[in-house]
Amino acid sequence: MSDLTPATPVVEETNLGPRVARGAAWIMGGGLFARFLGAINTIIVARLLVPDDIGLVAVATMSMQLLQGFSDFGVAQAVVKFRDAGRSDLDTLFTLSALRGLAIGLLLAAAAPVMAAVYDDPRMLGVFLGIAVFPVVSGLINPKFYEFERELNFSREFISTVLNKLAGVIVSVTVALIFRTYWAIILGLVTGGVVQLILSYVMRPHAPRLSFKSLKKVFGFSGWLAGVSFMAALNNKLDVPILARLVGGGGAGSFFMGLQLSEMATGQIAMPLTRALYPGLSSMQDDPQRMRRAYLKGVAALGAFAMPAAFGFAFVADDLVRLVLGEQWGDAAMVIAILAPVIGLQALFYATQSYAMALGLTRLIFFRELIFFLIRMPVFIWAAMEYGLKGAAFAAAGLGIFHVVLNLGLYARASGDAFWQPLVSAHRSLVAVAAMAAYFLLLRPMLPGLADAGLLIRLVVDISAGAIFYVAAHAALWLVEGRPDGIEREIALAADRRLGPHS
């Protein structure tokens, strides 16, 4: 029993910031390296295979991801939440995860002949059967591995992410080079899953057993989380298929590209910080006031870094998209200009779900997503039907503001605090973003010759000026307020340590 209930270090509020920053750095580093390897894999495989081959695998992969999204009950989140997780808790989580993976695999296998008939392509049978192996393998991952996350030790996740991605890319590229077949993608995916499975037991030895002893405890937390995952999948996966039907493939592709790039501007900053915050918040669940203060510090940090990235991207979207993707992606730039600022504002609240989960309030998160879906879908469909791609983009932006309101309500219910307090915590970032906007909207049009300069020159000037206006406004407001505790002080202290006199 002792090896299953390790003492979890108490994460004091005073040292949570540095530990979260280190955790976020590990997550971001792993994510960046995985994306780099993924990009290399995509380029090589895409050059060796024909689009039809990749399309075959994409249909099966999207089907698998939808099934996974519909049934995710958050094994990692549950392990982090249950600080005293013992043998029965881990065994129950393993059993549910294994059954979920097996069920998804069987559904994909059962769908294989149906999809082959629907697409009139016998190759689809083998593709679905091959993809069906991945969720079965993933479902057997050692739940004890997620104790590293609970302890804010994300270096192990970095190692696991890099090794499983590297193994998958090696297999995928090798098979593609030798056999020139779409099985390269499938075998690469399954290889990565197998390596991740093996590493989860090598890094955190544990022998799970089939058990339902903690089903009530686990379902009390994870049951609602599965509902959240289901609703989130509906909210996040239906826009593009709907637009493909209503405005055509070109419009759907532009919306998809614009949305992906807009989320990328904030996601690389906000998501690692949010994931690193959750175990820290969870460790404070017995002290709600400390947890609330830590959450609000997290909001301030998200506002300081993620929000300006999104707003700045919106302002330079037209030039940046034309330079990187080409003139044919003008509609995607329009989507970015509309959506990115709202996504930047939403980034303030990425940690709200983690905050509510740490308090065990998954039911409230589920109803937030349910309300959002019931209002969002009819409005989005109506706007797309009436006003096309631009209407859909503006509807998505307006509905994003509504999601911000729902998050403010979720915070108020979870904390008992005033619903506007997260905005107060991020007020310096909000003012600084307004200063950045003033440059782009008021000052920039008056700069002589900039409009006629080349794309690259305009981008360098705009990005530099936007950053200067944002940082200057942020720093000035912090100084005027008497240098209060916050992310600015953390940055100033870090700079002093690095730039101070050396003995």
Convert the pLDDT of each residue in 344-375 to its tens digit. Answer: 999 888 888 878 877 878 788 888 889 999 99
Is 0.95 surpassed by the pTM of this model?
Answer: no
Please give the residue that has the higher pLDDT: either 485 or 21: 485
Query: Helix or strand or coil: residue 416?
Result: coil
Question: What pLDDT sits at residue 161?
Answer: 86
Q: 474: Cβ–Cβ under 8 A, 6 or more apart, which residues?
A: 304, 428, 429, 431, 432, 488
pLDDT of 483 strictly over 90: no
pLDDT of 94 strictly over 90: yes
Percent of the chain predicted with pLDDT > 90: 38
Distances (CA, A) of 90 to 105, 144, 200, 216: 22, 7, 14, 13
Question: What pLDDT sits at residue 7?
Answer: 36
Convert the pLDDT of each residue in 392-402 to its tens digit. Answer: 999 999 999 99
pLDDT of 104 strictly over 90: yes
**53 contacts 181 by C-beta, under 8 angstroms:** yes
Q: Which residue has the tokens 């794309």?
A: 455
Question: What pLDDT sits at residue 215?
Answer: 85
Least confident piece of the model among 166-170, 434-438, 449-453: 449-453
Convert the pLDDT of each residue in 154-169 to its tens digit. Answer: 788 888 888 998 999 9
Average pLDDT on 366-389 reads 92
Which pLDDT band holds residue 13 (cuts at 50, 70, 90)? very low
Question: What pLDDT sits at residue 19?
Answer: 60
Least confident piece of the model among 184-193, 359-368, 408-417: 359-368
pLDDT of 172 strictly over 70: yes
Question: What pLDDT sits at residue 249?
Answer: 63
For the chain, state the CA radius of gyration.
Answer: 24
Question: Of 334, 134, 366, 342, whose CA–CA distance to 235 is shortest?
Answer: 366
pLDDT of 103 strictly over 80: yes
pLDDT of 5 strictly over 90: no
User: Of 101-115, 321-335, 437-451, where does the model show the most confidence?
Assistant: 101-115
Average model confidence (pLDDT) across the chain = 82
pLDDT of 4 strictly over 50: no
Convert the pLDDT of each residue in 135-151 to its tens digit. Answer: 999 999 999 998 887 77
Average pLDDT on 483-493 reads 78
pLDDT of 502 strictly over 70: no
pLDDT of 17 strictly over 70: no
Please give the residue that has the higher pLDDT: either 294 or 32: 294
**73 contacts 100 by C-beta, under 8 angstroms:** yes
Question: Of 314, 433, 298, 425, whose CA–CA distance to 358 is shortest?
Answer: 298
Q: What residue ranges do the domains of the chain occupy?
A: 1-221, 236-496
Question: What pLDDT sits at residue 201?
Answer: 97
Strand (E) or helix (H) holding 264: helix 249-282
Average pLDDT on 491-497 reads 70
Convert the pLDDT of each residue in 225-282 to its tens digit. Answer: 677 777 877 777 777 767 767 887 677 777 877 887 888 767 666 776 776 666 677 6
Question: What pLDDT sits at residue 353?
Answer: 82
pLDDT of 132 strictly over 70: yes
Which pLDDT band holds residue 115 (cuts at 50, 70, 90)? confident
Which pLDDT band holds residue 468 (cuts at 50, 70, 90)? very high
pLDDT of 11 strictly over 60: no
Please write down the HEC assignment for all residues of 159-182: HHHHHHHHHHHHHHHHHHHHHCCC
Please give the residue that has the higher pLDDT: either 31 or 420: 420
Q: 434: Cβ–Cβ under 8 A, 6 or more apart, which residues?
A: 473
Convert the pLDDT of each residue in 19-77 to its tens digit. Answer: 655 655 666 566 667 767 766 776 677 667 766 676 677 778 878 877 887 777 667 77
Question: Of 276, 351, 268, whose CA–CA distance to 313 is shortest?
Answer: 268
Convert the pLDDT of each residue in 195-230 to its tens digit. Answer: 999 999 999 999 999 999 888 877 766 666 677 777
CA angle 28-33-37, nearest 5°?
Answer: 145
**171 contacts 188 by C-beta, under 8 angstroms:** yes
How many CA atoms are closer than 13 Å to the CA of 432, on its beta-carbon side?
28
Q: Which residue has the tokens 């058990």?
A: 211
